[in-house]
Structure 1
């Protein structure tokens, strides 16, 4: 864990690239099966994925910019109501409220140096994020274009008499990762659509940005849903009042119950089913080791380890005929090295 923390700048992009490869590999394999060259198939899938991501982000920014004036107006009205409540109900004087505002402004001015330092730190963080994004994209290209050869190379470090079992365990682990990413994406879409429709019905502003936040946070189990729901409730409270906030809270709880009791058991199935305690502890460990990125990657890593270790412990005779995404990649991109081909399982 210490080593992972020290190398997080490299480990996190590679791990995210593996998640993206698990999400995009079926599309690449489908294109390869219809006689599209693997390099071209990888380029098509990546370009399409980046186009979808860029279009979504652009749409969210436009919606946020368009809804910001309305949000500011409603926020000013809410602050005026709070001020009237403080004066009329709590019997505070206007001078006391103004003094509090002046003290807040003085605090900001006195700590301007610390705020500037934090801004510079944020700029440095943005640079690290950009570098990590480029590294993630670079690694994803190689995972999609030559994941089978990378896996065969790693298998050379495994003793020959257990290579078949480790190979099958690794493929089953990757199959669990594919299932996890697909199911999580589907659940995230349902959460975003359900909560977005609820926010639109009760006329909460910034529906699209809030629904997008719900979609992204769904990839962090348990904690992500709580944080996104809290943000939606707070926006509803500030803009539309207490009753609307309670309605939004009910909508969020209803959608989360639908996710927990119907969607996740139906989509994830037994292959990647994990105990809630294991999920919470893995997320906590990920937060300690690598922050938000660690929380994002902890559960898929646990799913891969769970599937792979179960395969190693319970499979004494692996089934070579088992077909998964990696086998499809291997069939579509045969190994051209005779020496490596001679050392592959089943051909030695």
Structure 2
């Protein structure tokens, strides 16, 4: 027992007399981190790349949904464009003491009367001159055949007949496409009338309860973002109103210029041509080219190549005045989109959605440009707090009560 206790005491004393071991140093860091091995430019490019890919994916999904829901989206966009014109008119009537229901009714009926009257007048003029148009088309075709035979090409009768046979054969070979297109007319007409009714109902509801609609849209966003959304909506709505007013002015000038040119040159169907020019001017670039080509074609069929060339000069003159005077001075100030941006927007819209895409490309691009600039500018941060009740002009169909404040 005493020997064991002695050995234990001896070991304890040996441990107490032993010098303390120095602390173990941590392992040295690696010579270089992985991020330090990658150049800064590459890391910056990678950071931008995944963010751009994410934004592109979201935009692609949105475009896909818009294309799939086009029978709903297009009437809603039409309703918003019409409302941008009718809301100020309805508000003006109410400020002069008209009841709300009467001002909305007058605004809706006025728009329907103007559009319906233009279409009725144009269709009536075309129907009244359809017989003459058919007879003149036959005469023009015979003159064209005579020119092919006696002109510089010297086509023989057999060659002309072979050409006609090839045209007929090509039409017959594509008869399946023609039949399928004829069968799909009923579906297209049904979609058109359904879209028209949806656009009318949407316009009516915006005139009646635009305030509630915009308030619901703003409340979807987080509370801290509502001031930015509300201010961006005000800026976008103002730009859209300016676009509609200026586009109507530009379309009217184009229609008057080309219509008067056709009238003084003795070109028939001058009134339908002016109406088509007015409606086609709402599609930038594409509509002007199409309607101008139609006016030149009618002049060529009815009045010959000389008058057709003069008509072409009139169309080009009007388009030059629009492109170099009206668009830069009026449209550019109202929309704040560079002409190159307009061309690219129309091209992209036409590629994605055809005629509707070309029609809505410029207003959508203008509104998005203004809204993004407003949000990125940061002026909305100066407000004391987000409004409980949005202040966008979309719902300003009645005069505000005295003492109204944001958030009241």
TM-score by length of 2: 0.76
Question: Secondary structure of the residue that 1:83 maps to in structure 2?
Answer: helix
Report the counterpart of residue 246 of structure 2 in structure 1. 183
2:198 maps to 1:135: yes
Report the counterpart of residue 192 of structure 1 in structure 2. 255
Would you say the 8 A contact 1:29–1:325 is kept in 2? no
2:180 maps to 1:117: yes
Please tell me whether Structure 1 or Structure 2 has the larger radius of gyration of its CA atoms: 2
Report the counterpart of residue 234 of structure 1 in structure 2. 297
Give the Cα–Cα distance (whole angstroms) in 2 for the partners of residues 64 and 200 of structure 1.
15
Would you say the 8 A contact 1:192–1:211 is kept in 2? yes
Would you say the 8 A contact 2:246–2:334 is kept in 1? no
Report the counterpart of residue 85 of structure 1 in structure 2. 147
- The structure-2 alpha-carbon separation of the partners of 1:311 and 1:237, relative to structure 1 and needing over 3 Å to count, comes to same
Which is further off, 223-232 or 261-270? 261-270
- The structure-2 alpha-carbon separation of the partners of 1:251 and 1:116, relative to structure 1 and needing over 3 Å to count, comes to same
Give the Cα–Cα distance (whole angstroms) in 2 for the partners of residues 225 and 102 of structure 1.
35
RMSD of aligned alpha carbons: 2.4
1:77 CA drift (Å) = 2.2
Would you say the 8 A contact 1:283–1:294 is kept in 2? yes
2:275 maps to 1:212: yes
1:69 CA drift (Å) = 2.7
TM-score by length of 1: 0.89
Report the counterpart of residue 337 of structure 1 in structure 2. none
1:108 CA drift (Å) = 3.7
1:48 CA drift (Å) = 1.9
Q: Summarize deviations over 1:149-193 as a string: whole Å, max 9, x none.
A: 111111112232332232122111101000000100111011001
Question: Secondary structure of the residue that 1:329 maps to in structure 2?
Answer: coil
2:111 corresponds to which of 14, 27, 49: 49
Give the Cα–Cα distance (whole angstroms) in 2 for the partners of residues 155 and 243 of structure 1.
59
Which consecutive unaligned segments of at least 5 residues does structure 2 have?
Answer: 1-62
Give the Cα–Cα distance (whole angstroms) in 2 for the partners of residues 301 and 15 of structure 1.
9
1:145 corresponds to which of 208, 228, 231: 208
Would you say the 8 A contact 2:300–2:308 is kept in 1? yes
2:366 maps to 1:303: yes
Report the counterpart of residue 276 of structure 1 in structure 2. 339
1:331 CA drift (Å) = 3.9
Give the Cα–Cα distance (whole angstroms) in 1 for the partners of residues 90 and 143 of structure 2.
56
Report the counterpart of residue 38 of structure 2 in structure 1. none
- The structure-2 alpha-carbon separation of the partners of 1:100 and 1:260, relative to structure 1 and needing over 3 Å to count, comes to closer
Give the Cα–Cα distance (whole angstroms) in 2 for the partners of residues 186 and 94 of structure 1.
52
1:215 CA drift (Å) = 0.7
Which is further off, 283-292 or 295-304? 283-292
Would you say the 8 A contact 2:87–2:396 is kept in 1? no
Question: Secondary structure of the residue that 1:152 maps to in structure 2?
Answer: helix
Report the counterpart of residue 329 of structure 1 in structure 2. 397
2:225 corresponds to which of 162, 176, 183: 162
- The structure-2 alpha-carbon separation of the partners of 1:169 and 1:83, relative to structure 1 and needing over 3 Å to count, comes to same
Q: Summarize deviations over 1:12-32 as a string: whole Å, max 9, x none.
A: 110110000001111111112
Question: Secondary structure of the residue that 2:335 maps to in structure 1?
Answer: coil
1:110 CA drift (Å) = 5.1
Report the counterpart of residue 77 of structure 2 in structure 1. 15
Structure with greater contact order relative to length (CA < 8 Å, sep ≥ 6): 1
Which consecutive unaligned segments of at least 5 residues does structure 1 have?
Answer: 335-340
Give the Cα–Cα distance (whole angstroms) in 1 for the partners of residues 162 and 348 of structure 2.
44
Give the Cα–Cα distance (whole angstroms) in 2 for the partners of residues 91 and 326 of structure 1.
66
Give the Cα–Cα distance (whole angstroms) in 2 for the partners of residues 215 and 183 of structure 1.
13
Report the counterpart of residue 317 of structure 1 in structure 2. 382
Which is further off, 211-220 or 79-88? 79-88
